[in-house]
Structure 1
């Protein structure tokens, strides 16, 4: 049974729960404890694949690495992948569950709570320290009856809860007090401390505010975490912004609706000599040196968006310039000629951009596995997550085993995670005539995890309240 179970909740989304969960996992792992992360339900199109070919949220995958343990779907037993404004694919214990995906939101809890309980308690049995992450805010009164991820989990796990506010956005003390007041008395008793995250400036300016909050609630502010700049991946949204820069090779990253796994381009974003520019609004692509189309959870809807917003002719004009284009998974399907959906997996048949002579048919069976392939005398490792089965209508093989095709300067691959391979990044830089040292991304992530554990836990005053 776990010696300690800690749960991090936020007053809002993006308060820093995932980041601080990873920091705590590495903190305790560095102390020699057997640590496991857990998040009952995650909503994100950023997914990872475990060694046994199961899907889980990228954030919990990273937290497992932070905890120095193998990623395990029990750490994220329910993953919701948005496909439309009111529709999500439900992944249960690493596998799609079409039946639950069709259920209304409030009818899902009876089907999912038992799964969450089993995963939670099995991790508590094997871990010395269990670090649980909540979702959004526990003060969403309209969602409380269907809760399987916040206070219901805290009570089930008998966890010590720490409530996080993003002080950079302002109103942090009101957020903390208001969130605490929205909790039931039994839930309030689980809260052991408040955390002010993303702090900038002079801490003395807080003056008596933490004491005022403690007088109102009986709960201390246990940590003031500075705004920390890091390169760890984001959980479900690419917040990174950039504009084209003179003297660098500018890469356009097309961020259409339902774009997935955008974190896989982090190694490129942080590569010297390169400037990655995420694009959402239509603009001329003439100033860019390369174009990347990422994966998509709903490829047909993404293609309709490209057509409706006027992106399609800009992409085709860019292709005519003979500059390199790379499509990953759904992005590769978009570059093809036809996308067929006979089983209504997504949202119907649609014609692609026609830049790769490929035809994709969406299958009821989903491919999820970690994969390594030989490419020009080197091994490329990554992972696959796709319903699509793609065949060539004239495009030449680029990667073996039907994983990638090429036509002129346009390439597409089913293999996610290419840019985590130093040899592939070097190949990409060579195409762009960039002379720069390629970073060992896995080693860099290890350095970052150790750094945030030191800065977010040891240097914030939190450590003395944890032990």
Structure 2
């Protein structure tokens, strides 16, 4: 078997490649095909834990994890063989086939491509051998001519897979026809021939007003506009970049819970909080200043790829004092992974992973960083939880861990009688008052048991979102272009 391949390219980041690739995964699966997603290289701090062929655990980008679920298949490290996790503006941690590669992390960007291409090609070939259709997602734009010589994610992949390509533009930003034409024009002639259709995404208004632009664009390029997709404000798919909508969520009904998630520069795995945006009566927004925390019921400190640096940023904004005031007044605070580490007394780094520094002092804990990263899927049950988070008592949860730090009770504070209540051994603690909770487990809001305990109901399911997306493909596409 050698799967037929369709590739979703974009005129820019944020054009809608991940959304469309996910929709196509479910659409092809609904046609009865065995489908797998693939993205050669992803740059994101939103990652998921999946099993590796060797039976261990590894990381892939969240987008490919959700695409695998949409395709009704098991997520696999081969679906995103290269994951780059930004640690600073000019530095990324390199994850190859699920595992951190320190040697590759130290190489310059252009020096990596020939080192990683054999593994990328092998992963793609293996998926093609096991499936009927592989839905491939590109990255950024295929016309980034400064990177063409070291490309391992766009047209080099398209050529290797002999893929039919769709080119997507975000028309809401303006200039979509110029973006489509310019991208097409910058490609070599043999690569232009792979573009089977243009897609206008995030359209608002009357599609009839687009004429005669689609016809003119086809005259200039020979490529038809095969779909105009309307703006999808609440499509139900977690966004790859996490902070995807600056507007506070508004699900209707009387608001009973106001949640602010602190959006520090290296925040990670923000997609796990997407279910909160679809719960009736919950209003969720992002916080970057003390003003954003006024009047909220919950403050969430999410994960981060750089705990010490993001903690310094948080202090520079004055958010530390605002969080402390909120906690002192009895307001709920939830720290996840790096957010848990921030809630403690201190960060200790003797191996050069993250950095040293004082914590926020809201939990009597201390975190020590280790060279080896903990990556695993975890099922656990909360013990007896007190105070504001008491509804979580005895709730069973499934989540995942991705962290270098190991956290424990601060020994001197324990000797003085200040002891955090350990709710899950080595994974979850709360303060004596019961309103500050820290957990290492990612994915709590994705558990129906957690949403039922905290809100009395659940969010819309991912599977329902995938089905709506597949129905949209039938509605908005000239599906002849999708027949492989």
Q: TM-score range by the shorter chain?
A: over 0.9
Q: Distance in 2 between matches of 1:439 and 1:319?
A: 26
Aligned counterpart, 1:352: 359
Q: How does 1:199-210 map to 2 (within 5 A)?
A: 199-210=203-214
- 1:432 is aligned to none
Correspondences of 1:165-244 after superposition (within 5 Å): 165-229=169-233, 230-242=235-247
**What aligned pairs does 1:258-297 form with structure 2 within 5 A after superposition?**
258-283=266-291, 285-297=293-305
CA distance in 2, matches of 1:40, 1:120: 8
Q: Distance in 2 between matches of 1:411 and 1:76?
A: 33
Matched positions, count: 456
SS in 1 for 2:220: helix
Distance in 2 (CA, whole Å) between partners of 1:378 and 1:286 is 30
Map of 2:316 onto structure 1:
308
Q: Does the Cα contact within 8 Å between 1:248 and 1:274 map onto a contact in 2?
A: yes
| 3-state SS of paired residue (1:138) | coil
Q: How far 1:162 sits from its partner (Å)?
A: 0.8
Distance verdict in 2 for CA 1:325–1:175, change over 3 Å:
same
Gaps of 5+ in 2: 383-392
C-alpha separation in 2, matches of 1:29 and 1:4 = 13
Distance 1:401 1:12, change over 3 A: same
1:180 to partner: Cα distance: 0.5
Residue in 2 aligned with 1:317? 325
Aligned 8 A contact 1:284 1:314 in 2: no
CA distance in 2, matches of 1:216, 1:240: 35
Instruction: Map 1:7-406 to 2 at 5 A.
Output: 7-51=7-51, 52-229=56-233, 230-242=235-247, 247-283=255-291, 285-346=293-354, 348-375=355-382, 376-393=393-410, 394=414, 395-406=419-430
> How far off its partner does 1:361 sit?
0.8
Deviation at 1:377, TM superposition (A): 3.1
* Contact kept? 2:279, 2:458, Cα under 8 Å: yes
Encode CA deviations 1:187-212: one digit per residue, 9 max, x unaligned.
11111111111122222212221121
- Give the 5 Å matches for 1:368-447: 368-375=375-382, 376-393=393-410, 394=414, 395-407=419-431, 408=433, 409-429=435-455, 437-439=456-458, 441=460, 444-447=461-464
Distance in 1 (alpha carbons) for counterparts of 2:63 and 2:91? 22
Residue 286 of structure 1 and its aligned partner are, at CA, apart by: 4.1
Shift of 1:247: 4.3
Question: Could you list the per-position Cα deviations for residues 28-64 of structure 1 after superposition, in whole angstroms to 9, with x for gaps in the alignment?
Answer: 1011100000000000010000144210000000000
Q: Distance in 2 between matches of 1:194 and 1:29?
A: 23
| Alpha-carbon distance between aligned partners in 2 of 1:39 and 1:284, rounded to the nearest angstrom | 36
The 1-side partners of 2:84 and 2:96 are apart by: 9
2:278–2:459 contact (8 Å) kept in structure 1: no
Moved more, 161-170 or 244-253: 244-253
What is the DSSP-based 3-state SS (H/G/I as helix, E as strand, rest coil) of the residue aligned with 1:269? helix
Residues 240, 278 of structure 1: 8 Å contact kept: no
Deviation per residue, 1:154-206 (Å, 9 max, x gap): 11111001111111211111111100011011111111111111122222212
Unaligned runs of 5+ in 1: 430-436
CA 255–439 in structure 1, closer or farther in 2 if over 3 Å, else same: same
The answer to which of 259-268 and 58-67 deviates more is: 259-268
Over the aligned positions, Cα root-mean-square deviation in angstroms equals 1.6
* TM-superposed deviation, 1:319: 1.4
Deviation at 1:221? 1.3
